[in-house]
Structure 1
Amino acid sequence: MRRGLRQPRTAPVRRRDRRGRGPRGLLLPPDLPAHRTRAEKFDDYVLDAVERLEQRWARQLEGTEFAVEDVPPSHPAPWEHGGVPLGRYFPADAGLPPRIVVYRRPVEIRAVDDADLAALVLDVVVEQVAHLLARAPEDVDPGYRP
């Protein structure tokens, strides 16, 4: 070797993090059911309920927006008395289409397990669609449980 010229040094390849615990990554792969968040599962329950009702009421529900919010606003509607609402129907107003909103946290708190949550979401959506159609919830969905 001649003086003044050095061999280029390559950095060692790191296969572990600096404390030797190994590479970090996802705890659950995306293809496992537990990877989805509670909010994503709740959205799926609402979509399932809407699809079930659209099979029977597609024409009447055309243009209606369905939404999920975490909690209801702090000021209740004038017609609401008492407890926390689980959902709300907003009629068409000033160029806005009719909207049905389901409030995720109050519904989740009342549910015992996932099956109960799915049934409760369906009931809330049926009640709000009944307000929209000016019908009884039993007429909107024969499987409605009061």
Structure 2
Amino acid sequence: MRGQLLPRTVPAWRSRADRFDDLVLDAVDRLSGRWSRELDDVEFAVEDVPPSDPAPWEHGEVPLGRFFPAEGTLPPRIVVYRRPVETRAAEPQEIGELAQSVVVEQVAHLLNLTPEEVDPRYNRDS
């Protein structure tokens, strides 16, 4: 007989993708207190991998996230790429810190500020 090993109510049941989504939402919530008005219309998303066509400013490196400015009726969007972030993190515990850094960097790009101005706790080494 086969069945679920874990009930859906326990945290371990959630997939890695679900847990990563939560990390990105936590990063956005952390910035929302200070930048709520500026981030009000911004859409945040998580995708597994970036598209295969690099942006003109990307020179061979795999992006961890991207900022897409508003276009027509589309609001500005910030996308964090789960698999590259997970791969770049040396330890599983570092994934949350790296996701936070990516969100801060992309919000800084949106606001035309430095990451340190967006979040004084920003860690460039993440």
TM-score, normalisation: structure 1 = 0.82
The residue that corresponds to 1:36 in the other structure is 14
The residue that corresponds to 1:51 in the other structure is 29
CA contact (8 A) 2:45 2:79 kept: yes
Matches within 5 A, 1:6-25: 23-25=1-3
The residue that corresponds to 2:53 in the other structure is 75
Offset of residue 31 of structure 1: 2.3
Question: How far apart are the structure 1 equivalents of 2:2 and 2:48?
Answer: 31
More helix by share: 2
User: How many aligned positions are there?
Assistant: 124
- Secondary structure in 2 matching 1:143: coil
The residue that corresponds to 1:102 in the other structure is 80
Q: Deviations over 1:30-79 (max 9, x none)?
A: 22221110000000000000000001000011110000001000000112
Structure 1 stretches of 4+ with a deviation exceeding 4 A read none
Question: How far apart are the structure 2 equivalents of 1:114 and 1:57?
Answer: 28
Aligned Cα root-mean-square deviation (Å) = 1.0
List runs of 5+ in structure 1 lacking aligned partners.
Answer: 1-22
Question: How far apart are the structure 1 equivalents of 2:56 and 2:114?
Answer: 22
Question: How far apart are the structure 2 equivalents of 1:133 and 1:38?
Answer: 30
The residue that corresponds to 1:113 in the other structure is 91
The structure number with the bigger radius of gyration is 1
What code does the residue aligned with 1:98 have? P
Identity of counterpart residues, as a percentage?
Answer: 65
1:93 matched to 2:71: yes
Question: How far apart are the structure 1 equivalents of 2:122 and 2:56?
Answer: 26
Tell me which of the two structures has the higher relative contact order, counting C-alpha pairs closer than 8 angstroms and 6 or more residues apart. Answer: 2
TM-score, normalisation: structure 2 = 0.94
